[in-house]
Amino acid sequence: MAHLSEAEHLAVSAAVSAAEANTAGEIVTVVTDRSDGYSDVALIWAAIAAFTAIATLTWFPDFYLGQVDHLLGKWNAEWTPRGIFGLALFVGILKFAGMWLIQLWQPLKFFLIPGPIKSRRANARALELFKVGTDRRTTGRTGILIYLSMRERRAEIVADEAITSKVAPEVWGDAMAAMLIELKRGQCGAGVVAAVERVGTVLAEHLPRADGDVNELPDRLIEL
C-alpha cells in the first residue's frame, strides 16, 4: 500500500541529497505500512474472548442454560454434564472464531494492540532494516536510518557507530517533533522531509563533508 505520492518521493530524495551535500553522513529513509502482522496479539484477544465467554457461562449457568432452552423451544430441559461441556466448547469456539474474524478489519485490529507493543515492534523492525541496509554499509560507519511505520504511528531514528559516538540519542528529538507536526496535518512526505532536514543539520555539525566524499547509500525514499 503506497502512502506517498511520486512527488513526495522526489521531495524526500531531494531533501536527502541536499542534506548529504554538507555532511559525511549517509541518510536512508524508509516508510512502511506496518512493522508487524501482530497475529500473536490477535490470537491472544481471541483466546481472551473465548475464555471470558466460558467463564461467564460458568458463573451464571442457570441464566444461560435457560436462554439456550428458550432459543431451542424447550422448557425445563434436563442438562447432562456432557451437554453442558459440549455447550461450553461450542460457545468457546464460536467466540474465538468471532473475535478472530472481526480483527480482520485492520482499524479495529490496530486499535486493540497495546501502545508499548507497537513501540517495541516498530523499534525491532527499524533495527532489522538498519542492520540489513545501513549498518556497516559505509566506509566510515556514518549511516543513519529514518524509519516511519504508518499503522503503528511510530517513528525511529537509528544511527551507525560513527554518529552515535558523537551525537546523543535525545538530540534526534527535534527531528521527531518536526516530523510529527507534519504527520498530524496528514502530510507524510513533508514530515519525512522535515526530519531529514533536521538530521542533516546535526550531521553537518558533527560529521562535516570531506573532500572526495562519495555517496555510498541511495538517496531515494524506500517505501515497503
Q: Give the helix/strand (H/E) hosting 208.
A: none
Domain end residue (candidates: 58, 83, 111): 111
Please tell me the predicted confidence (pLDDT) of residue 77.
Answer: 64
The whole-angstrom separation of Cα 142 and Cα 147 is: 16
- Both 152 and 205 in one domain: the answer is yes
Render each residue's pLDDT in the chain as its tens digit; 224 residues: 678 889 999 999 999 999 988 888 889 999 999 999 999 999 999 999 999 988 888 887 777 777 776 776 666 567 777 777 877 888 889 999 999 999 999 999 999 999 999 999 999 999 999 888 776 777 778 889 999 999 999 999 998 888 888 888 888 888 999 888 988 888 898 999 999 999 999 999 888 888 777 777 888 898 88
Please tell me the predicted confidence (pLDDT) of residue 80.
Answer: 74
Please tell me the predicted confidence (pLDDT) of residue 36.
Answer: 93
Q: Tell me the one-letter amino acid at 76.
A: N
Domain end residue (candidates: 86, 111, 136): 111
- Both 174 and 122 in one domain: the answer is yes
Q: For residue 105, is it within any domain? A: yes
Is residue 208 within 8 Å of 23, Cβ to Cβ?
Answer: yes
Please tell me the predicted confidence (pLDDT) of residue 45.
Answer: 96
Phi then psi dihedrals of residue 31, to 5 deg = -120, 130
Residue with cell string 542534506? 19
| Residues belonging to the chain | 224
Q: For residue 1, is it within any domain? A: no
- Both 145 and 162 in one domain: the answer is yes
- Both 51 and 128 in one domain: the answer is no
- Per-residue pLDDT of 8-50, as tens digits, reads 999 999 999 999 888 888 899 999 999 999 999 999 999 999 9
CATH number at residue 159: 3.10.310.50
Domain end residue (candidates: 51, 80, 111): 111
- Both 133 and 191 in one domain: the answer is yes
Bridge partners for 139 per DSSP: none
- Both 209 and 148 in one domain: the answer is yes
Q: In 10 A of CB 164, how many CB atoms?
A: 13
- Both 30 and 124 in one domain: the answer is yes
Please tell me the predicted confidence (pLDDT) of residue 76.
Answer: 59
The whole-angstrom separation of Cα 1 and Cα 61 is: 48
What domain range includes position 195?
6-36+115-223
- Both 63 and 160 in one domain: the answer is no
- Both 211 and 129 in one domain: the answer is yes
Going 209 to 212 to 216 to 220, the CA torsion angle's sign is positive
Please tell me the predicted confidence (pLDDT) of residue 86.
Answer: 79
Number of compact structural domains in the chain: 2
Q: Is the overall model pTM greater than 0.85, yes or no?
A: no
